[in-house]
Structure formats: structure tokens, C-alpha cells
Structure 1
Amino acid sequence: MTVEADAGIPGLEGVPLLGSLFDLKSDSLGTYLRARQRHGDVVRISAGPPGLRAELYCVFSAEGAQQVLASESANFRKDNAFYQEVRDSFGNGLLTSQDEDYLRQRRLVQPLFTRKRVDGYAGAVADETEGTLAAWAEARDGIVDVAAEMTHLALRAVARILFGTDVDATVDVVDRCFPVITEYVLRRGYSPANIPRGWPTPGNRRAAAAMDELYAVCDGIIAARGKAPAADAEGGEDLLTLLAAAEGADGTGFDAAELRDQVLIFLLAGHETTATSLGFALHLVGRHPEEQARAREEISRVLGDRTPGAADLDRLPYLTQVLKEAMRLYPAAPVIGRKAVAATEIGGHVVPAGADVILAPWVTHRHPAYWPDPDRFDPGRFAPEAEAGRPRYAWFPFGGGPRACIGQHFSMLESVIALAMILRAYEFEAVDTEVPVHTGITLRATGPARCRIRRTRP
């Protein structure tokens, strides 16, 4: 049965008293898909008991996403409970900051993410990928879990670019602490009510210990870097050194606490998003041998035996299409939340002021109005002529508008270089035909994504 909100927005059916709370907790992505299929592009979902109930206003069309993220972005803020939990755990960095804080941070950081500057990190990405390929020679039974392996590769690459030589200790701490903190953020971010963080419960104490350890390693590297700047793989300065030296027009830059906030956000967003794209791209080509063979032929023809660099991104169009199609089916940020400042008409419905607004790339990327046979893996969807025929926000894995991901060129650079080197070296055959996923801060595989690999070159 469909119910109507005061604003005339159709509501998803739930259970008495708790609405769709259990559906969202057990399968949020499936719940959002059902909401669009049953009720259209603007749907209200109620979750939680009376008095603590959340009302989510879900917007699934490309045109609605463009309104929220771009054309009317000033009316939609990162003020919801989830972002506050991320802010409290990972700091007030570029992902979570707002207003003057965000504008100041963006001005300081933007020069460090120019295309020319980011292209200089291609060598570090290639070096870390070579290390991964070498390790696979010892893979038991010739099988690797590509989701886990790409998480490790992406983390090493971003840690190296951030910290230069201070990689191993950082990777160990992040591997140990991030899952604890992320689970804590999710539990609190989606709970109708939370106890204070300072209460000495087991969950609070575990999360506090993980945050203390993570903060300590970042603070230690920052303090040491102030005395002895490190070099990156290209002989230049690593990103932390550049962040520490960044100055605005008023001559001020980041203090030590602000530096740590930026570093934590870059570690979080910089490795989890790329890892998701790479892991699922490899698993998908492992299930689709014809597309894998076509990508490998392009790689061999363009690169031969040489190491790929930044200039090769434009020379590998089909490989880029494979990656984009993987990002369509498995967007690293499958759900994006905002808070409406004022009542706004979207898709013929009025979303009220103060509403929690949900965009879901997971759903929009499967919208049949933009993607025929949407569950099928088809890199041809991203041929230039096909892209030109779709609305701009039919595909938005990096968000959009003034708060689009500042690192999207770095993510594409890293992903294309790594994917080219991996597919040139190994053939992939999927062992697990389906990989369960869970949406947290980013999309993560909750089961193995194993592939059998076979060396294609000495």
C-alpha cells in the first residue's frame, strides 16, 4: 500500500511502528531500488520508531541529482547525522567541512590536484602495481581475492603519495584501525539515537583506541616532516609536504591538527574508492572473457612492454570504458546524503525544508530510462557517442557540482595504469560469480571476489 506525505510524495510501504528500518539495515541498496521501481523518481521512506523516526526523501533521476549536487547545491548541505559521525571520527577535512572552512580548504588544496601535478604520481602507482604483480606469483592455487588485493594496492599507493617513504607503518595501522572506526561510524550514523562517545562502553573504547592509534601515527609523521621533508617516487615532494607548505592569499596555511584532518580524509577516500573500482573491474572482466580479451589487445597494442604513464590514459579508451562501466555497476559512493535548507521542487514534488535527501548512484546508474538492460556489463555504454546521448548526471560516481571529488583525476589515473599493468600480466577467470556488497562510508565487498589468474607474460 502506498501512503502519501504532506508534500504529496509517495511513500514506500513499511511495517507498523518501525517503517522501513529493518529493510534499510539489512539491504539499503535493494530497498532504494525497490522504492524507485514501485513509486518513481522521488520517494519518501520512513524508518524508526515514533519520536525517533527518520524521513528520507530519495531522489533517483539524473535531473534530480543535478539539482541537488549542482544547479541548486547551495540549498543542500552536508548537515545530516552520518556526515557528523564521519566528521567526529575522521576530522573536518575536505570531505566533511562546510561554508568558509570548506572554501578555505579547497583553495589551499586545489593547486595540489592539478592535472599536471597528479600526472607526476604515475610512477609511484606503477611501482606499487609491480609489487602486487610480483607477489601474485606465489598465489596459492593461482587464486586471488581481487577485492582484498586491490584494497591493499590502493592503500599502499595513496600512502606512498601522501607520505613518501613512510608507507609500511602507515599501511599496517590503517589496515588495523580503519575497519573498527568505519563500523563505529556506520552504527552511530544510522542509529535513531546514540549514547555519548565519552561513555566507557566496549564499543566506544574500541573506537577511541583505534582513533588514538591512527591519529598518533599521522601526527608523528607530520611532526617529523616539519623537520625533514620527504621525497616521493619521482624525486619531488610528497603530498603531505605540499599540504604543509600550502598558503592562501592571506599567508596562512594548515596547522598540525588541520593537516591531520586532511591526511585522514585523503587516506579514507583516496584508497577505498579506487579499490572498489579496481576490484570490481577485475572481477567483471573475469566473468566476461570477450571484453577482457578486447581490453588486453588494446593494452598490448598501445603499451607493448613499456610501463604506462599519465599520457597513456587517452590512448586506452576501451580500457577506460571497462573501468567506467565497473564504476556504473559498483559506484564507490553508492548513496549520497544532503539536508535541504529550503523547500525545493524536484521532479514535480516538493521536498520540504529540513528534509534528509538521499541520492543513490547505485539506483540512478541502473535507471532503465538511461541504461537499457541495466544489470548487463557493457563497456560500449561509454563510447563517446553513447555518452553524448545521456543526461550529465546519469553517471556520477565522483559526485558533482562545486563539491565534486577533488581527487577524481587521480583515481582515474591510478585505476587505468594499474588495470593496464594487471591485465597485461595476467588473465582472470572469476571463481565467485556473485559478490555480496554492503554500503558503508564506501561500497565494500562483504564476501570474497576470487579470480583464478594465469600469467600471460614472463
Structure 2
Amino acid sequence: MTMAIPELTGLPLLGSLLDLRNDSLGTFLKARRDHGDVVRITAGPPGMRGVVHCVFSAEGAQQVLAGDAANFRKDNAFYQEIRESFGNGLLTSQDDDYLRQRRLVQPLFTRRGVDTYAGAVAAEVTRLTDGWQERAEDTVDVVHEMTGLALRAVARILFGTDVEEAVGIVERCFPVLGAYVSSRGFAPRKLPRDWPTPGNRRAAAAHEELYAVCDRIIAERRAAGTSGTGRDLLTLLVAAGSDEDGGFDAAELREQVLVFLLAGHETTATSMGFALHLLARHPEEQKRAHEEIDRVLAGRTPGAEDLDALPHLTRVLKEAMRLFPAAPAIGRRAVAATEIGGHLIPAGADVIVSPWVTHRHPRYWDDPERFDPDRFTPEAEAARPRYAWFPFGGGPRACIGQHFSMLESVIALAMILQSYELEAVDTHVPLGSAITLQALGPARCRLRART
């Protein structure tokens, strides 16, 4: 016998609309704390009211993302807004489109293939730390700095020598489109995109500029054909193909590039930035990381082969991703009625699973707000349900770039900690959520060069 789904109490007219707009992360935590692992949240005035069903347990997340994945599709309003702004690439495509794209792209994201990008990541980290040495001030906002680093690294890997122009345009355009997607994705009603409102016009200009630079670079790669000698990811995407699936046309290439830029820099930047900030706030864990890095690397630049030899640094990163998951909420839409945790999710329902909440669930995590990298020893990981920690999603739609994210993050953290000790200036960083987790204030750290 199924139980009725409890509902988060909101305002009589607006439901939980204001709570979700002002603090969606806190609202989801309150929903689980007060009502359990399956909670119904309504938002918006009568006649325009939206309803979302939140699933907070690890077992429920596994059911939505993996076990019953075919029944939970990317058909909600939020993904539609991402499609219209960034294209129908791997992040948003479905069914045969997704399977074809995945087959074409997967060979470029094998562990061996991704490991070849370690040198490009290290070069960008060196560029960053050299710039820090030239500054007059000794304080940096680590989340902001890691955002710049991650963008340059993924743009360099995608575009090779065209990195400078692409980075400047992405830095201008992505924040505009990200805010636009977020505001429209959660709005009870939306104005048509072609109405000349200020928000629509700003988004259209950013969209046009971003598409233009991608189309220009892609046209050059396609014109080079087999005579091109570059090994950047775009060149490999141009060449990707099979008898069964053909290859990518120019529009499809642009969509994949934009998804890689979107998913490949903000997410990894969040992980790296908060890992550094957490170490700056916990000197004893920073000391353990310094000792491991010094012992393993002895001053040399790390490569892909060093990842397995830096287990404590990897645990630091995983714990940062637990506390600050780059995708704090993941949405789906149910095709058919499905029972989860004794509750019946109706057909057509919008469903959210939330790493932000599940990563803090007291059933899986003791003292969940405490920073403790030893939660990720092999023994501790084996003792928890698989989906108690899922920063990369899971199931058939798990992030294709998760090994690249871990490679880039461990190399970057190791190189920065080789050169610096960090001391936190800001001990609390206010947070919000758009397409990804957002730092709404500075995460400043004071740098001290290590001798």
C-alpha cells in the first residue's frame, strides 16, 4: 500500500515560490528534514502553479537515475531552456539522438585519451600561478580563480590555438545565458523569447556572439579536413564518425562544443575552488595534503600517472564535491506512475533528485556538515549505498567527462599546493543555484609561498 506524499507547507497564494527563488538549497533541506525522503513542493499562484516531487534518499536517486532511468526523462522546462540556449548536445539530447552522439563521442573520452590532456592542464595551472607571483596583493578569490582556470583549460583542449578569443566570449556570454536559463526554467509562465524585452535582447545578443565564434572555428577545422595536424578535441570531433552513425554536421559540432564548455568548466571550477577553500579553513588537512604531494612528486609537475599515488588529495576533492556538488539538483519528468520509497510518483510529474540534500543525509553521513576527507577511504565508500554520493549524476546519463574533471582537479590542486599555503580570509561563502552551484560572495584566501 502506497502512502500519500507529504507536502512542504508554503504560502496560501504562492506556495513555496518565494522560498525556492530566495534559497532553493535551504528549501530542499527543510523539505527532507520536516517531511522525509519524498516530498511534494508547489510553487506559483493558482492557475499558474507548478508542482515538483523531490526524492532525497540514495536509494530513490538510484531508482530515478539508474534502475528506472527509462521512465525519468529530460523533458522538463529547465532542460528545454538549456536546449534553446546551448543546443541539443549530450547534456540535453534524448533517445536515438543521444545514443548516436554518445557513440560518436565516447571514444574521445576513454581514460587513455583523456590522460593525454594532462600536459595542457598543467600548462594552464603554471600560467595561473605565475600570474599570482606577479601580483602585488597576496589574496585571491579561489572560486573565481578556479573558474578562469577551468575555462581556459577546457577551451585550450577544445580549440587549441584559438583559446584566447573563445575564452573572452565565453566569459561574457555564459553568465548572461546561465541567468536567463535559470530565471525562465523556474518561472510559472514565460514570455516568448522573441519579444523585445531587455532580458530577451541581452540573451539573444549573447547567444549570437557565442554561436558565431564557435561556427567560425568549426568552419576552419572542417575546411582543414585531413590536412589539419591539430590534436585538440574539436579536430577529433570533426573526424569522429562510423558507418552506422555517420559524423557530426556543423550544427551538431557546435552543440557538442557548447555543452563541453558549459559542463566542463563551471562544474570542475566549483570542485577545485571549494576544495582549496576547505583546505584553507582546515590547516591540519592542508598539512596532510602538502606532505603527500611533497612525498609523491618531490617538486616535479604531476601527470596523469600520479593520480592513483595521491589518494588523500583525491579524498579531499571528493569531500569538497560532497559538500559543494556542482549540480545541486537534477531534474527529470516521469513517463509513467512509479513507486519510490512507498510513495507513488504520478505520471507526468516533475521530479528532482538532489546531491545537495542526499550528500547531507544523516542516514549516510555522520555530522554531515563537517569536512572530513576520510569519509572517502575505500572501506568507508564500500560501506555506503552507491548513490549516497553522486556529483556526476549516474546511470546511463552519467557525466561522460567525469574522469577529465578528476584529472584536471587533482593536477591543479597538487600544483597549487606545491607552491602555496592557503589561509582563509572569508570563512563563509553565500551560495545560490542556477544551472550549477554559484558562489554569491567571495571565497578569498591569503597565499603564502612555500620555500
Matched, 1:169 2:129: no
1:41 correspondence with 2:37: yes
**Corresponding residue number in structure 2 for 1:241:** 235
Match of 1:384 in 2: 378
| Structure 2 Cα separation of the partners of residues 231 and 402 of structure 1 | 36
> 1:284–1:326: 8 Å Cα contact kept in structure 2?
yes
| Unaligned segments of structure 1, at least 5 residues | 1-5
Which has the higher mean CA deviation after the structures are superposed, 176-185 or 404-413? 176-185
- Which sits farther off after the overlay, 210-219 or 130-139? 130-139
> How far does residue 17 in structure 1 lie from its aligned partner after superposition?
1.4
Local SS of the residue matching 1:167: helix
Cα distance in structure 2, aligned partners of 1:305 and 1:32: 44
Question: Where does 1:49-448 land on structure 2 (aligned, <5 Å)?
Answer: 49-228=45-224, 237-250=231-244, 252-448=246-442
For residues 355 and 131 of structure 2, what CA distance do their matches in structure 1 show?
Answer: 34
In the TM superposition, structure 1's runs of 4+ consecutive aligned residues that sit over 4 Å from their partners are 229-232
Amino acid at match of 1:254: F
Deviations 1:405-438 (A, max 9, x none): 0000000000000000001110000000000111
- The count of corresponding residues between Structure 1 and Structure 2 is 450
Q: 1: CA distance between counterparts of 2:313 and 2:116?
A: 21
Shift in Å, 1:224: 1.0
* Residues 162 and 239 in structure 1, CA contact (< 8 A), matched pair in contact too: yes
Are 2:10 and 1:32 aligned? no
CA distance in 1, matches of 2:293, 2:338: 47
SS at match of 1:228: helix
Indicate if the aligned counterparts of 2:100 and 2:245 stay in contact, CA closer than 8 A: no
Q: What's the CA shift for 1:230?
A: 11
Deviation at 1:50, TM superposition (A): 1.1
State how far apart, in whole Å, the 2-side matches of 1:251 and 1:68 are: 29
Separation in structure 1 between the aligned mates of residue 226 and residue 118 of structure 2, nearest angstrom:
18
Per-residue deviation at 1:363? 0.3
229 and 428 in structure 1: CA distance in 2 versus 1, 3 angstrom threshold:
farther
Contact 1:231 1:237 in 2 (8 A): no
TM-score, normalisation: structure 2:
0.98
Deviation string for 1:227-284 (max 9, x for gaps)?
A: 337999xx86110011111113326110000000000000000000000000000000
Q: Deviations over 1:72-116 (max 9, x none)?
A: 100000000000000000000000000111001000000000000
Deviation at 1:329, TM superposition (A): 0.1
What percent of counterpart residues are identical?
Answer: 73
Distance of 2:136 and 2:225 partners within structure 1? 40
- Match for residue 3 of structure 1? none
Q: 1-side partners of 2:446 and 2:9: how far apart?
A: 43
CA distance in 1, matches of 2:83, 2:233: 22
Structure 2, gaps ≥5 residues long: none
Q: TM-score, normalised by structure 1?
A: 0.97
Cα distance in 2 between the residues matched to 1:230 and 1:241: 10
Question: Matched residues in 2 for 1:409 and 1:249: separation?
Answer: 28
**1:90 aligned partner, one-letter code:** F
CA-to-aligned-CA distance 1:365-408 (integer Å, 9 cap, x gap): 00000000000000000011111100000000000000000000
2-structure distance, mates of 1:229, 1:136: 40
Query: 1:141 offset after TM fit, Å?
Result: 2.8
Answer whether contact 1:428 1:451 (CA < 8 A) is retained.
Answer: yes
CA distance, structure 2, for counterparts of residue 186 and residue 229 of structure 1: 38
2 CA distance for matches of 1:391 and 1:230?
Answer: 48
Instruction: Give the equivalent residue in structure 1 for 2:446.
Output: 452
Residues 367 and 374, structure 1, Cα contact 8 Å, conserved in 2: yes
What is the SS of the residue equivalent to 1:213?
Answer: helix
CA distance in 2, matches of 1:129, 1:363: 32
Secondary structure of 1:58's aligned partner:
strand
Deviation at residue 200 of structure 1 after TM alignment:
1.2
* Aligned ranges 1:15-30 → 2 under 5 Å: 15-30=11-26
Query: Partners in 2 of 1:36 and 1:174 — Cα distance?
Result: 37
- The residue type paired with residue 317 of structure 2 is L
In the aligned structure 1, how far is the partner of 2:389 from the partner of 2:409? 18
